[in-house]
Structure 1
Amino acid sequence: MTGQEQTEIERKYDIEGLRPVPSLLGVDGITAETAEEPVILSAVYYDTDDHALARNRIVLRRREGGGDAGWHLKTPADEGRTEVHWPLDIGGADSAEGEPIPADVLEPVRAIVRDRPLTPLARISTVRTAVRISGADGQALAEIADDLVSASDARGGTYRKWREWEAELLGGAPDTRKKRTRLLDAIEQELLAAGATPSTSVAKIARAVGVRSLTELSTAEMLPGLLPAAALQHPDSAGAIVVGALRELTATLIANDPLARADAPDAVHQMRTSVRRLRSVLAVYARLFEKSAVTDLRLELGRLGVELGRARDAEVRGARLAGELAGVAGYPSGYPTDDAQTRLVGGARRDYAEGLGAVRSYLLSPRYYRLLDSLERFVAWPPLTSRAERPAAAEIARDLERAVGVLARRTSAVTDADAPEPALHEVRKAARRLRYAAEAVAAAQPVAGGPATEPAARPAKKAAKKEAAKRAEAAARFAKHRRGYARLAKVAKPLVKRLGDRHDGLLYIEELDRAAQAAHEGGENTLVYGLLVARAERLDETVPVVLCEAERAVRALKRLIRDL
């Protein structure tokens, strides 16, 4: 069951003593105030033992009482937080605390929590007295909650009590961010004048466990054998740039996960692309890392790519067949399409449904979870070789030159190949690898010296500013090289698309031939299959034509490499 999603935009304030919430009538269009009856809210917050949710600024709770009792999942958003809500009995779950967290609730965060158990992090009881404020049109603009909070740290054993005010925007709030901010600022001015101060913690759960931000709970895994990573201490090093690219790609892959599970539009494709980008970067810059670690990661990423590919290929085939059949619908009646629609489009959609089911099963497997563990460990504490300490510009240029060389050799091999089609497919893969590797370093920022997840202990402010300035200078020096990498990718991209479209077209024709044979054996009219094949065949996609284009691209890439 998909949860109900909404955006939560709020501000919190500490308040001492028994000071009442001030009246807000007349403030920025507020014309009415309605006091609500007090309610008691009881919530249990969950996380893994290593605070995986907190590390990603995600809150998972089960709450009773009030109008929104249920399971709540809160994730960061551009403005405020995204909150997804499910009823307490989702999936037939018992409404009592202690029951397993429903699978539907865990689905959006599986890539983060994986198969690790979630246990209570804190229990919070709130006595809430709220005032709902409205505008001239009667729409509720915001709610001001006066909360008396009692919290117990389920793991640390500490009991805490405090009072806070919470200003949360409601459905009638202004429709632009600027106006919403102005309304909250106006409300804040009145609350501060009444004696409130901005909250010392961003959320109740943070305060319940004694921190200002949940990210303070996270601790980095210490791997003494890999510390310190000398290359990562120098923002001009090849390791700092390539590890930065790998961290960004790993984060993208994890962000793709819940969308692919939910079958969001184009989500399987995007996740498959993330896998291919990771494998390409690991392949082209492999010499910066220990060989066995790269080999193992690429193997497991390849397996994930295969699972995603089955569903994606069926999705593409179905979309193309539907479009082509629609294109021949206006042809003479001698080309009936109903049977072909059922066999071709219906078959592709069945294949996609089966492929998506296989993807979902794989994304719940221990093998997939261990891949994510390995990826995060790799980018946090990369097993770097001495090459990673070399200047980024020169070392990256050498690796990209090697990638262009691979592409050139594969292109040359097509002419004498006994089977030119498989040889052209190898050209396509080499071009794609080059493109993704170049795009990755064109966008990457040099990483900080520590892991992606920083320890709670932070350096002094002065040292942190000095380090930030150092990395900003390195990024500025590296900017001119980024433009060169982007030009490489720009040349490789159309070649990848050209060869990819051609390869897909050949597979499409083969599929039509098989389907036509099956239709003939089934007694169906097969004229439309011949028409579809004729529409798919193109004179400009012969081996000599596309090989000429590939050779022209290789020459351009070699010129660009000399300029890096």
Structure 2
Amino acid sequence: MSDIQASDGTISTAPAPVSLQLARYLHTQRETIMDGQIAAAGHDDPDAVTTMVIAARRARSALSAHRPTAHREPEVHRLIEELRWFGIIVGAAHDLGVQSARLHAAVDALRPRYVRGPVRARMSTYFTARTRPAWTAARDLLASPRFPAMIEDMISEERLLRAGLVPGIDDPDNAAVIGALLDRVRVRMRAVESARDEDHADAATHELRKALRRLRYYLESVRDLDPARSDQAADGLVAVQDLLGDNQDAAVAKHHLIQLTREAENAGESTFTYGLLMQREIDRTTACAAALPAAYWRSLRTVRVMADVHNTV
């Protein structure tokens, strides 16, 4: 923030340039990642990396929102890709753990007569076989030279941003950036509405979720430009993201259940229970799809005002 004296003598506080706000945001996410790395090193637990993955997504989304810069500046593009790679590798074991807990809880909710065969044992074996190598890969990554290199890239980018030396960050008006992000959201919402089948609907809904996440994290990174509206918009975006997150969890669970069904079939076991669980996840995605239009419109009201976008979103 800086003080500006108006012609009438009053003093107002102007927000810091976008480049400086983005540098501060990257600094916060980098600190979170580094703290998470220390915590993860002392715990043999995939959940220890959750905050690191979220911080990497925040940093990547905030940088990616500045599309011309992300495309034209090699250093920025490389950092975005490194953060993407980091999030995928480090988050894989945690995501598997979430799915394991989800499906085991679903089995526990069934009446005993609906649990046919060694369902719990098969699920445990299935997820353990996948979680262990994923967690090993995450720990290996955190101990590899590539991790500190990514941290150094974040530090370098912060310095350049603080010095105002990253082209294209401060040039466009904030409303224009938000408008471009809303355009991206609008296109992906149309893809959801026109999806031809279940798989296309799941994929399109996930893409919409990612577009909304980029919009939310961009607003976080430049909050000082309009704190009240940014907070209000973020609250709305969290609501629709939660709905889409539930849809994504159900969509991923369906894929795991297909694999589990195949393994059970090959072993000559009953697949009755997996069919019940599959229908549960199908019902969940159907319910999410029904609730999405209203949640979408409510969530984007404040964002549309901030962008001064009067066309239909």
Cα deviation for residue 404 of structure 1 reads: 1.7
For the structure 1 residues 350 and 544, does the alpha-carbon distance in structure 2 shift closer, same or farther, using more than 3 Å as the test? closer
Distance 1:318 1:277 in 2: 26
Task: Note the residue ranges of structure 1 that are not aligned, 5 or more in a row.
Answer: 1-233, 443-477
* Residue 52 of structure 2 is aligned to residue 274 of structure 1: no
* Residue 268 of structure 2 is aligned to residue 486 of structure 1: no
C-alpha contact (below 8 Å) 1:495/1:549 kept by paired residues = no
Percent identity at matched positions? Answer: 24
Distance 1:385 1:498 in 2: 36
Alignment match of 1:401 (pick from 161, 174, 179): 179
* Residue 191 of structure 2 is aligned to residue 413 of structure 1: yes
C-alpha contact (below 8 Å) 1:260/1:271 kept by paired residues = no
Distance 1:432 1:370 in 2: 26
Distance 2:47 2:294 in 1: 29
Residue of structure 2 equivalent to 1:561: 307
For the structure 1 residues 414 and 321, does the alpha-carbon distance in structure 2 shift closer, same or farther, using more than 3 Å as the test? closer
Task: Decide which structure has greater strand share.
Answer: 1
Distance 1:437 1:403 in 2: 9
Cα deviation for residue 260 of structure 1 reads: 2.5
Residue of structure 1 equivalent to 2:89: 307
Task: Note the residue ranges of structure 2 that are not aligned, 5 or more in a row.
Answer: 1-13
Distance 1:531 1:367 in 2: 44
Distance 2:154 2:191 in 1: 35
Equivalences for 1:361-372 in 2 at 5 Å?
Answer: 361-372=140-151
Cα deviation for residue 430 of structure 1 reads: 0.1
Equivalences for 1:52-63 in 2 at 5 Å?
Answer: none
For the structure 1 residues 539 and 271, does the alpha-carbon distance in structure 2 shift closer, same or farther, using more than 3 Å as the test? closer
Cα deviation for residue 346 of structure 1 reads: 3.0
Residue of structure 2 equivalent to 1:439: 220
Distance 2:167 2:253 in 1: 47
The higher-RCO structure (CA 8 Å, 6+ apart) is 2
For the structure 1 residues 433 and 340, does the alpha-carbon distance in structure 2 shift closer, same or farther, using more than 3 Å as the test? same
CA RMSD of aligned residues (A): 2.7
C-alpha contact (below 8 Å) 2:240/2:292 kept by paired residues = no
Residue of structure 1 equivalent to 2:9: none
For the structure 1 residues 423 and 533, does the alpha-carbon distance in structure 2 shift closer, same or farther, using more than 3 Å as the test? closer
Alignment match of 2:269 (pick from 483, 500, 524): 524
For the structure 1 residues 521 and 483, does the alpha-carbon distance in structure 2 shift closer, same or farther, using more than 3 Å as the test? same
Q: How many residues align?
A: 288
Task: Decide which structure has greater helix share.
Answer: 2
Residue of structure 2 equivalent to 1:258: 38
* Residue 92 of structure 2 is aligned to residue 320 of structure 1: no
What TM-score comes out, normalization by structure 2 length?
A: 0.81
Cα deviation for residue 351 of structure 1 reads: 1.7
Greater gyration radius? 1
The aligned amino acid for 2:138 is V
Distance 1:235 1:495 in 2: 28
Alignment match of 1:246 (pick from 10, 26, 29): 26
Equivalences for 1:324-403 in 2 at 5 Å?
Answer: 324-328=106-110, 330-332=111-113, 335-336=115-116, 339-382=118-161, 384-385=165-166, 387-389=168-170, 395-403=173-181
Distance 2:270 2:295 in 1: 40
Cα deviation for residue 355 of structure 1 reads: 0.9
Distance 2:151 2:252 in 1: 32
Cα deviation for residue 354 of structure 1 reads: 1.6
SS in 1 for 2:112: coil
For the structure 1 residues 244 and 287, does the alpha-carbon distance in structure 2 shift closer, same or farther, using more than 3 Å as the test? farther
Cα deviation for residue 560 of structure 1 reads: 4.6
Distance 2:244 2:285 in 1: 12
Distance 1:493 1:484 in 2: 14
Cα deviation for residue 235 of structure 1 reads: 6.2
Distance 2:269 2:285 in 1: 32
The aligned amino acid for 1:365 is S
Distance 2:270 2:240 in 1: 38
Distance 1:384 1:488 in 2: 30
Distance 2:264 2:243 in 1: 31
C-alpha contact (below 8 Å) 1:314/1:352 kept by paired residues = yes
The aligned amino acid for 1:434 is L
Distance 1:515 1:298 in 2: 35
The aligned amino acid for 1:558 is R
The aligned amino acid for 1:528 is T
C-alpha contact (below 8 Å) 2:213/2:241 kept by paired residues = yes
SS in 1 for 2:222: helix
Show CA shifts across 1:158-211 (max 9, x none).
xxxxxxxxxxxxxxxxxxxxxxxxxxxxxxxxxxxxxxxxxxxxxxxxxxxxxx
Runs of 4+ in 1 over 6 A off after TM superposition: none
For the structure 1 residues 397 and 247, does the alpha-carbon distance in structure 2 shift closer, same or farther, using more than 3 Å as the test? farther
